[in-house]
Amino acid sequence: MSKSQSFLPWRKKLKEKIMSSTMFCGRFIKECDQLKYVLERTIKHGESDSVLLIGFKGSGKTTILNHSLNTIRQSGHDDFIIVNLNGLIHTDDGLALKEIICQLHLKELEGDRVAGSFSDNLLFLLQS
């Protein structure tokens, strides 16, 4: 193991301490509250909203999102599922839909069932 690799666990622990979600989000209270509001409306009322978090690598986008989701979970609203998509990998509706099916473990929908329009497939997925 090289010297740089031996420091990785310590570096990770230090970063976790510095960037702990409560400490980090204390600096971004307004942003955390806005994101939490949109997520709660989506989870509780089924609203279809989009959120775009932009910032440099390591600026805290994922930390703010995770903090907001954890806050919602702790308030008793844990009846939601997170599906992670990557715009560089899931470049069209079909690929995204296949990944959603895979992450939701809907084995009976995998394969050639993803055909036709995106809205038809999404409706079928939601009814399953």
Q: What is the mean pLDDT of the chain?
A: 78
Q: Name the percent of the chain lying above pLDDT 70.
A: 70
Query: Which ranges in 46-117 belong to alpha helices (H)?
Result: 61-74, 93-103
| pLDDT digits 0-9 by tens, 14-62 | 776 665 655 666 677 888 889 999 999 998 888 888 888 998 988 888 8
pLDDT value for 41: 92
* Res. 92 pLDDT band, cuts 50 70 90: confident
- Does 79 score more than 90 pLDDT? no
Higher pLDDT, 3 or 120: 120
CA distances, 90 to each of 31, 33, 43 (Å):
27, 29, 24
CA distances, 97 to each of 18, 72, 106 (Å):
37, 26, 11
pLDDT value for 109: 53
CA distance 98 to 94: 6
CA distance 25 to 76: 20
Domain boundaries, the chain: 3-74, 93-127
